[in-house]
Amino acid sequence: MSERPRLTVLSGPSGVGKSTVVAHMRKEHSEVWLSVSATTRGPRPGERHGVHYFFVTDEEMDKLIANGELLEWAEFAGNRYGTPRAAVLEHLETGVPVLLEIDLQGARQVRESMPEAQLVFLAPPSWEELVRRLTGRGTEPPEVIERRLDAAKVELAAEPEFDATLVNTSVEDVARELLALMDVV
- The residue ranges that bind ligand 5GP (CB under 6 A) are 14, 18, 37, 41, 72-74, 76, 81-83, 101-103, 105-106
**For residue 81, what are the CA distances in angstroms to 11, 139, 150?**
13, 18, 18
Q: Is 24 exposed, middle or buried (0-12, 13-18, 19+ CB in 10 A)?
A: middle
Q: Which of residues 148-177 bind ligand ADP (CB under 6 A)?
A: 168-171
The verdict on whether residue 12 carries a ligand-binding annotation is: yes
Work out how close the CB of 112 gets to ligand ADP at its nearest, in angstroms, rounded to a whole number: 23
Residues 6+ apart with CB under 8 A from 54: 36, 37, 38, 39, 84
Work out how close the CB of 113 gets to ligand ADP at its nearest, in angstroms, rounded to a whole number: 23
15 in Cβ contact with 130 (< 8 Å):
yes
Strand partners, 46: none
Q: Residue 133: name its binding partner from ligand 5GP, ligand ADP, none (Cβ under 5 to 8 Å by kind).
A: ligand ADP
DSSP per residue, 88-109 = HHHHHHTT--EEEE--HHHHHH
Which of 43/95 has CB closer to ligand ADP? Answer: 43
Which of 65/181 has CB closer to ligand ADP? Answer: 181
116 in Cβ contact with 109 (< 8 Å):
no
For residue 75, give the amino acid letter.
E
The verdict on whether residue 14 carries a ligand-binding annotation is: yes
Q: Residue 137: name its binding partner from ligand 5GP, ligand ADP, none (Cβ under 5 to 8 Å by kind).
A: ligand ADP
Cα(167)–Cα(171) distance, integer angstroms: 9
Determine, following the binding rule CB under 6 A, whether residue 106 of this chain makes contact with ligand ADP: no
Site string for ligand ADP, 13-32 (x = CB under 6 A): -xxxxxxx------------
Q: Residue 82: name its binding partner from ligand ADP, ligand 5GP, none (Cβ under 5 to 8 Å by kind).
A: ligand 5GP
Residue with CB nearest ligand ADP? Answer: 17
Q: Which residues are annotated as a binding site for ATP?
A: 12-19
As annotated, the binding site includes 12-19
